[in-house]
Amino acid sequence: MTTIEKIKRQIAENPIILYMKGSPLFPQCGFSARAVKMIMDCKEPFAHVDILQNPDIRAELPTFANWPTFPQLWVEGELIGGCDILNDMNKKGELQPLLKETAEKYRSQEAKISQ
């Protein structure tokens, strides 16, 4: 399986997925820490991929997504954006409803990551 196929599968199998540096419990950069806090504050399950542990994904995802930086939040197969966009959405009250609505659609499935 190519790296792009792996990324496509991860995004398809996880309705809410965050590509980040580190993990939700141990983020490895300030932007990832802020993004994961905003997402965790919404209290909905999400998958994550530590790009530091997956250098192939770290190298390929920016080109695939046409988005050069991390973190990257994907919801239902669509790139939402990085930390600044999440912050704007959070301030406008848009992030929590988006994640809640998405999680409710997929409530019967557990977020999982296929690597």
84 has a pLDDT exceeding 90: yes
Is 58 annotated in a binding site? The answer is yes
- For 47-79, write each residue's pLDDT tens digit: 999 999 999 999 999 999 999 999 999 999 999
pTM of the model: 0.91
Is 83 annotated in a binding site? The answer is yes
CA dist., res. 50 & res. 63, Å (int): 17
Question: Of the CATH numbers 3.40.30.10, 1.10.1040.10, 3.30.160.270, 3.40.50.150, which one belongs to the domain with range 3-97?
Answer: 3.40.30.10
Contacts of residue 24, defined as CB under 8 A and 6 or more positions apart, other chains included, come to 18, 36, 40, 48
pLDDT computed for residue 36 by the predictor: 98
Is 70 annotated in a binding site? The answer is yes
Mean pLDDT of the chain: 93
Is 84 annotated in a binding site? The answer is yes
- For 14-35, write each residue's pLDDT tens digit: 999 999 999 999 999 999 999 9
pLDDT computed for residue 107 by the predictor: 77
Domain boundaries, the chain: 3-97
CA dist., res. 89 & res. 24, Å (int): 20
Order the strands of the 72-75 sheet from edge to edge: 47-50, 16-20, 72-75, 78-81
